Amino acid sequence: MTLPSSLPDPASSAVAVDEPKARASKSSRVPAGLGLAKAKPRGVAKKPGQVALPTPARLHFLDRDQSILSFNERVLSWARRPDVPLLERLRYLCIVSSNLDEFFEVRAAAHMTAQLSNDKKGAYTDLSFAALSQRVHALVDEQYQIYNHDLLPALEKRGIKTLAHGERNVRQRAWVRDHFVREVQPLLVPVGLDPAHPFPQVANKSLNFIVRLAGRDAFGRENEIAIVKVPRFLPRYLAMPAAKGSKQQHFVSISSLIRGHLVDLFPGRQVTQFSQFRVTRHSDLAVDEEEVKNLRTALRKGLQQRHYGQAVRLEVSAGCSEFLSDFLLQQFGLPPEALYRVHGPVNLVRLNQLIDLVDGPSMRFERYLAGWPSQLNAGQSFFDRLQQGDVLVHQPYETFESVLAFLREAVEDPNVLAIKQTIYRTGARSELMELLREGVRRGKEVTAVVELKARFDEEANINYAERLESVGAQVVYGVVGLKTHAKMMLVTRREGNRLVRYAHLSTGNYNPGTAKLYTDLSQFTADPLLTQDVEQVFLHLASQNRLPKLHKLLVAPFHLHKTMLEKMEQACHAALAGQPARIFLKMNALTDEALARGLAHASQCGVQIDIVVRGACILPAGVKGVTDNIRVRSVIGRLLEHSRVFRFQIGDEDLLWLSSADWMNRNMLRRVELAWPVTDPHLKQRVIDECQTLYMSDTRDAWDLSADGHYVPAVVEHSAKGRALPAVSAQATLMARYGRKG
């Protein structure tokens, strides 16, 4: 995808290596004793006989937030693709809107504050706010262009239409009015603004109307502004009854339904202007863990205020008058750049409800049925199978049900004495949580490490923690100042006169819902050394005692960051000595400056580096003299890329880790993360084939990062006769390989 020429060049807003953006805060401090090994001076050989490393060339990082927006531009490209089913194209439009909501909720407040204070220095400035605003406005405009000019006409050709008030016939208007009077009007409370009725609290991302009125109220006053808040629980789209014999599918949106009957809410007054509006607020919870006595209680209080944080974006209808938009900007304390005039619904995310209402299987992806893991036999005991060797599962190509089956067997097996589990995101209705509760009821020692600060899942995790505690499970909340992001399960079983451990490790969450959409790798193992390491990590999280020396696991914030830097340096020495030196990385984000700097230096030493990074990446690729030997690509497909793979080929060594961690500062230094080695030759080769070879060969869903910071679609390969070869999709290939038929 070529970015519009009017957008800022991501490389132009880069920062130099010697001008780091990180700023110290309580939440970002590295706990005592977790410091990395001090950097060794470059140009000096570490060991006798080694070639001295060259001085690193000057590197300019790409802007992280611009990179996040670039990722959303790549996602939006799926809404344009004619080979994607129509309703799925509409769903990608919703995904971009949901991503932008989170971007504003989490990333925009610092830029907004800098703009309001006219800050010219530091990590965030008025210029950074202006650059982001310009790019987001262009992205939103493109969204609504696709919505209005591509998707709506295509849906209408299929007989699917959301009818505006003026498009409804007499019968339809009567149905809409009846529904409004019975189901909606009793729930609406119009608030006329005056000194006794100030501007009401408007919740984050809620749908509202602002109305300008003529005439006088019941007390003879001319208060002209009123606000109507729309309850969240009201469905945003309704299917209208079809005419007899008609195959047309007609719908009405809640905003159109209310808009058509606003006058009914203000009897005796004239509605002269109105607009729907939606405000997005900063929603990242900030709790000083060093000051609170009970983290769970403090988070519950914080959740009550989340919906009313600092306003960062205002969306209104395109036809909203300047009088009303200026009034709203003033009420929310926002600059003009924070105003988004949209040609359609102010919340495209809610179009998901419309997609679910439409009857049209041919307009959706063909249902994918994940296969049972190829290394497992249905009905075979996991414990018997793992005594023969480790098992690798590639989700969602292979089903997550195998993980639930493992836990289910552990709960039902009378020889299992203890189950330990980390909980980060498990979904709203989790069978896994019910299995843990059942394990307690059956007399097993169940320990759950619940991360209460999993963003936007805090309330669900608090509820799960309380439910587990209510039946007697041991619940701990990890380490103060760190999020527990590691994904691990440990089962201890009595076998004869000894205790045997079995573990499950994963790059992704224990969430049956997202496990159908996210690509992740997980591993079952009975390896005594690896399972002993897992046991030690659980003990560390519960007791907060020092972590002993581990055999195989790398744990952040202790070892992972340091080890990755050391391996890059070893690769540098190998390349300079003429030995094989290659690095392959697959992750969701690459924003840690030290690691990015290490990769650039490795490139300058001659190390060949391939990186598959889904989202934000601050490391430019192919910059002459700096990152010549680095190739960065992003794969955007039907599934969300989520697995993390780190491979280092250094001389005769070929090391491969799977991990829960991205290469971000927060993952490496402010979270508890795991990376574990894949040492079984067959499993290692499978990871290489499915995550490296296949993804680096993708020519349908891949984008390559250019030296100027832009992403371009991967080049389709051609035959010797110049004919374009069939495009390769890594995801489609794996779905065909592992999916069940029928």
Q: How confident is the model at residue 2 (pLDDT cuts 50, 70, 90)?
A: very low
144 and 41, same structural domain?
no
Q: What mean pLDDT comes out for the span 610-615?
A: 97
| CB within 8 Å of 129: residues ≥ 6 apart | 111, 112, 114, 115, 337
Pick from 246-260, 287-301, 436-450, 592-606: least confident: 287-301
Burial zone of 500 (CB within 10 Å; 0-12 exposed, 13-18 middle, 19+ buried): middle
Q: What is the pLDDT of residue 426?
A: 67
Both tokens of 245, joined, read: 């014999």
Same domain for 483 and 625, yes or no, is: no
Q: Are residues 541 and 434 in the same domain?
A: yes
pLDDT band at 544 (very low <50, low <70, confident <90, very high): confident
Q: Residue 13 has what pLDDT?
A: 35
Overall average pLDDT of the 544-573 stretch: 95
Of 528, 552, 576, the residue that ends a domain is 552
Cis peptide before 335 (omega within 30 of 0): no
Token output for 629 = 């030997």
- Secondary structure, 3-state, 73-105: HHHHHHHHCCCCCHHHHHHHHHHHHHHHHHHHH
Res 335 pLDDT > 50: yes
> What is the average pLDDT across 599-621?
97
Residue 178, domain member (yes or no): yes
CA 69 to chain centre: 13
**Which one-letter DSSP state was computed for residue 167?**
G
Let me know if residue 377 belongs to a domain. Answer: no
- Which of the two residues, 134 and 3, has the higher pLDDT score? 134
Beta strands in 362-435 (DSSP E): 391-395, 416-423
Q: Look at residue 3 and tell me if it is in a domain.
A: no
- Using the predicted structure, report yes or no on whether residue 644 has a pLDDT greater than 60: yes
**pLDDT of 628 above 90:** yes
Q: Is the peptide bond before 56 cis (omega within 30 degrees of 0)?
A: no
E-state strands within 143-267: 160-162, 191-192, 208-214, 225-229, 237-239, 249-253
Closest to 537 measured CA to CA, from 337, 399, 675: 675
Three-state secondary structure call for residue 374 = coil
Q: Which of 528, 472, 479 is nearest to 500 (CA)?
A: 528
* Contact present, 633 and 621 (Cβ < 8 Å): no
Residue 509 pLDDT > 70:
yes
Comparing 44-58, 325-339, 552-566, 669-683, the range with the smallest average pLDDT is 44-58
Q: What is the CATH number of the domain that holds 227?
A: 3.30.1840.10
The band of 702, judged by pLDDT with boundaries at 50, 70 and 90, is very high
Pick 297 or 725 by higher pLDDT.
725
Question: What average pLDDT does the segment 360-375 reach?
Answer: 94
Residues designated catalytic: 485
Q: What is the mean pLDDT of residues 359-367?
A: 94
Tokens standing for residue 548: 């002993």
193, part of any domain: yes
pLDDT at position 284, please? 66
7-16, 335-344, 373-382, 545-554: least confidently modelled range: 7-16
**Nearest residue to 315 via CA among 448, 436, 143, 442:** 143
pLDDT tops 90 at residue 673: yes
Domain boundary among 311, 328, 363: 363
pLDDT of residue 458: 58
* Each residue's pLDDT tens digit, 29-80: 333 333 333 444 344 445 666 778 888 888 999 999 999 999 999 999 999 9
Residues 114 and 175 in one domain: yes
pLDDT at 366 over 80: yes
CA 512, CA 246: separation in Å to the nearest integer? Answer: 39
- Residue 14's pLDDT is 36
Q: Same domain for 679 and 731?
A: yes
Mean pLDDT for all residues in the chain: 87
pLDDT at 27: 37
* In a shared domain, residues 430 and 521: yes
Task: Please report how many Cα atoms fall inside a 13 Å half-sphere around the Cα of residue 229, on the Cβ side.
Answer: 15
Same domain, 36 and 171: no
pLDDT above 70 for 568: yes
Q: Is residue 90 part of a domain?
A: yes
- Please check whether residues 403 and 476 belong to one and the same domain: yes
Q: Look at residue 113 and tell me if it is in a domain.
A: yes
Domain count of the fold of the chain: 3
pLDDT > 70? residue 569? yes
Give the structural domain span for 525. Answer: 382-552
- 560 in the same domain as 542: no
Are 638 and 521 contained in the same domain?
A: no
Single residue among 363, 394, 417 that ends a domain in this structure? 363
Q: Is the residue at 305 inside a domain?
A: yes
Q: Mean pLDDT over residues 494-506, rounded?
A: 97
Provide, for the chain, the percentages of residues in helix, strand and coil under a 3-state DSSP scheme, each rounded to the nearest 5: 35, 20, 40
pLDDT at 654: 98
Q: How far apart are CA 5 and CA 704, in angstroms?
A: 19
Do 423 and 296 share a domain, yes or no? no
Please check whether residues 529 and 562 belong to one and the same domain.
Answer: no
pLDDT for position 190: 93
Least confident of 281-295, 457-471, 700-714: 281-295
Q: What is the pLDDT of residue 703?
A: 97
Residue with tokens 């609504």: 144
Q: How confident is the model at residue 520 (pLDDT cuts 50, 70, 90)?
A: very high
- SS3 assignment for 601-670: HHHHCCCEEEEEECCCECCCCCCCCCCCCEEEEEECCCCEECCCEEEEEECCEEEEEEECCCECHHHHHC
Span of 298-307, 549-558, 669-678 with lowest mean pLDDT: 298-307
Are the C-beta atoms of 598 and 611 separated by less than 8 Å?
no
Within 10 angstroms of residue 262's Cβ, the number of other Cβ atoms is 17
Answer whether residue 642 is part of any domain. yes
Q: What is the average pLDDT across 136-147?
A: 97
What's the pLDDT at 478?
Answer: 65
Give the pLDDT confidence score for residue 741 in this predicted structure: 67
Predicted pLDDT at 119: 79
> What confidence score (pLDDT) does residue 110 get?
84
Pick the most confident of 8-17, 279-288, 616-625, 708-717: 616-625
pLDDT given for residue 507 in this prediction? 97
Cβ-contact 675, 657 below 8 angstroms: yes
Do residues 275 and 320 make contact, with C-beta atoms less than 8 angstroms apart?
Answer: yes
CATH classification at residue 427: 3.30.870.10
- Confidence class for position 108, pLDDT limits 50, 70, 90: confident
Residue 478 backbone class (left: φ over 0; alpha: ψ -120 to 50; beta: rest): left
High-pLDDT (> 90) share of the chain, %: 69
